[in-house]
Structure 1
Amino acid sequence: MELKWLQDFVSLARFMNFTLAAHDRNITQSALSRRIRQLEQWVGLPLIDRSTYPVKLTPAGYSFLPKARKSVDMLCALREDTIEAHGSTEEVLSFATMSTLVLTFFPAWMEKVEALGGPFRTRFTEAYSSFSNNVATLFRNECDFLLIYAHDSVPAMQDLSEHDYLTLGAEQVIAVSAPAENGDPLHGVQSDGRLIDYLSYRDNSFFAQALPNAVFDKKALRFNTVYENAMSAALKAMAVSGHGVAWIPESLAIQELQTGQLVRAADPSFDIEVEIRLYRSYRLRGKRAGQFWRQAEEVALQANR
């Protein structure tokens, strides 16, 4: 029996969908199916009922699931405790986060946290990963902290409801465009039915899920998608070049708005406000991680006073 079989099973039990679970585990669907069958052969009983859609757990699967979760946690903890006891004495804090927050928020916020006691050695797991992958990294206990934007219109936020988090701030997400010669937006946003040349987020990104429910559906906007990318910085670059309208965090566009390379493409009723949150793993992987969380709590309290 291999640890990855248990991790595969826990993921499949969460999604009840082989395609989504395979994406979560970063393997092909056929590889996931093969490994689940290997686990079932090891157990000696079917764990997944494949006769229904979506799939569901068998009675044996429901009985096996809590033990599988506990085993995964125990084995990961064993590895981490061994590393902590015999590895490098300098603990590295692991963050899963979004590329925009790496650029615009993390450096100044980290300076405030370290002012209360530091420094801390940090690393990002995958700063350019999808939102769903970042959330899954926290669920698998493969990072200490998850630093993300948050909005109620994003379904995955419900999956995080049982994790402790701090609200670190808020951010306006605004529509921007290159200016025309008269200073008006080259690509303006109006609710009059006209097609808007749109610089779109990829489907698996946070804002691809937040914007439709929070803005687009309410405003009855019609888009001609001319470019797609999961990264706000890439969409900003295309907007500066005059290719269309992009909705990006305002902090990412401050310099371009000040220099006139970008202008607002819509009035503030087309903005959305998102929170900046720090989620913690159920099991922080070292003493320094606990200290960091306590200092982050103090910074959050100071910001919200």
Structure 2
Amino acid sequence: MDVRWLEDFLALVELRNFTRAAEFRHVSQAAFSRRIQSLEQWLGTPLVVKGAVPVRLTDAGEQFVDSARIAVDRLFEARASIRTSQFEVMSQVRIAMPNVLARSEFKALLNVIERKHNSSFSVIVGTTLDVVARYLAGDADILFAHDCPAIPMHDTLDQHERLVLRKDRFQPYATVDPVKRNKLDFPGTPRNPFPMISYSHRAYFARLFEHVVARNKTPLPHKVVVQCEMSDVLKEVISAGYGIGWLPQSAVGDADPHLMSPIGPPEWGLDLDICAFRPPRPLGTSIEGIWRALEAGEEKQASL
């Protein structure tokens, strides 16, 4: 038995699609399918109804879901507990956060938690999906990330403590150059779709964009001209006037209003939370102290 087989199975249960689940697990679809088959062979029964789209579980598969989830959670809890005790000796706190927040929020977060806590920090950065996966695997003690109640990042995070640090907004941006901006013609027409600067399909912000489009009844004719997972790359392309793209306001910041600004009516935007997550169990004294400092910062901001 390989614990990765259980993680693959749970990803398939959540996403109900072999291609998307394989992308989420960072393996080829062929390798992913072989691992599901290996799990079925180990159990001695099929878990997935062959050919069903979206993926549908057999009775045995439905019966196995809770057992697989409990087994994975207990294994990673045990590993996280051991790692936490090791890092506690070093007074090092492991933080995971996506690139988009590492650039805009990390210094402010460090000011909140470093004032009262003499700790060193190990910071994991990457795409939102990557850092969430690393955090859930026990590689980080605290996760900082964008989250939207309407489109949660990951179902498993519902079982973790969630602290809203501040509000953000996900909205469309375009260059402030008047000549280039007038040519973009937002929100576009069927004959003249606007050029779209888009997140890759696996990105969390791509799911938020899909939610914004589905929520609005107004058509949004567009053609994708650039696609990337990194907000910094999209920001550069948008500010240069190549198209319109959705960004969190925190990613744009105060330094870029002379380069880009929001475009379109408010209904094309979406309110977000910048959150901290931690496992639902007691952690080391250093991490508990940092979490209390974050809570105090949230209470102070709420009172303003």
Answer whether TM exceeds 0.5 for this pair: yes
Gaps of 5+ in 2: none
1:277 to partner: Cα distance = 1.5
1:188 to partner: Cα distance = 4.8
**Does the Cα contact within 8 Å between 2:93 and 2:121 map onto a contact in 1?**
yes
Please list, as runs of the form range in 1=range in 2, the aligned pairs for 1:157-168 lying within 5 A after superposition. Answer: 160-168=157-165
Give the aligned partner of residue 170 of structure 1. Answer: 167
Deviations 1:90-132 (CA, angstroms, capped at 9, x unpaired): 24433333221111112212211222433341311xx332x44
Q: Distance in 1 between matches of 2:242 and 2:94?
A: 37
Please list, as runs of the form range in 1=range in 2, the aligned pairs for 1:220-239 lying within 5 A after superposition. Answer: 220-239=219-238
3-state secondary structure, aligned to 1:146:
strand
TM-score norm. by structure 2 comes to: 0.80
* Structure 1 pair 304–157 and aligned structure 2 pair: CA distance change class (3 A): farther
Q: Distance in 1 between matches of 2:13 and 2:223?
A: 38
Give the aligned partner of residue 71 of structure 2. Answer: 71
1:203 to partner: Cα distance = 1.6
Give the aligned partner of residue 294 of structure 1. Answer: 292
Give the aligned partner of residue 207 of structure 1. Answer: 205
Instruction: Give the share of equivalent positions with the same residue, in percent.
Output: 25
Q: Does 1:33 align with 2:36?
A: no
**Does the Cα contact within 8 Å between 1:174 and 1:272 map onto a contact in 2?**
yes
RMSD over aligned CA atoms reads 3.2
Give the aligned partner of residue 179 of structure 1. Answer: 176
Q: Distance in 2 between matches of 1:66 and 1:136?
A: 20
Q: Which amino acid aligns with 1:75?
A: L
Q: Which amino acid aligns with 1:108?
A: A
**Does the Cα contact within 8 Å between 1:185 and 1:264 map onto a contact in 2?**
no
Give the aligned partner of residue 151 of structure 1. Answer: 148
Q: Distance in 2 between matches of 1:287 and 1:96?
A: 19
Q: Which deviates the most, 201-210 or 184-193?
A: 184-193
Deviations 1:223-253 (CA, angstroms, capped at 9, x unpaired): 2322111222111111222212222233333
Give the aligned partner of residue 89 of structure 1. Answer: 89
1:287 to partner: Cα distance = 4.1
* Structure 1 pair 187–164 and aligned structure 2 pair: CA distance change class (3 A): farther
Give the aligned partner of residue 4 of structure 2. Answer: 4
**Does the Cα contact within 8 Å between 1:195 and 1:224 map onto a contact in 2?**
yes
3-state secondary structure, aligned to 2:143:
strand
* Structure 1 pair 36–220 and aligned structure 2 pair: CA distance change class (3 A): closer
Q: Which amino acid aligns with 1:185?
A: R
TM-score norm. by structure 1 comes to: 0.80
1:147 to partner: Cα distance = 1.9
Equivalenced residue count is 298
Q: Distance in 2 between matches of 1:80 and 1:152?
A: 27
Give the aligned partner of residue 250 of structure 2. Answer: 251
1:204 to partner: Cα distance = 1.8
* Structure 1 pair 11–191 and aligned structure 2 pair: CA distance change class (3 A): closer
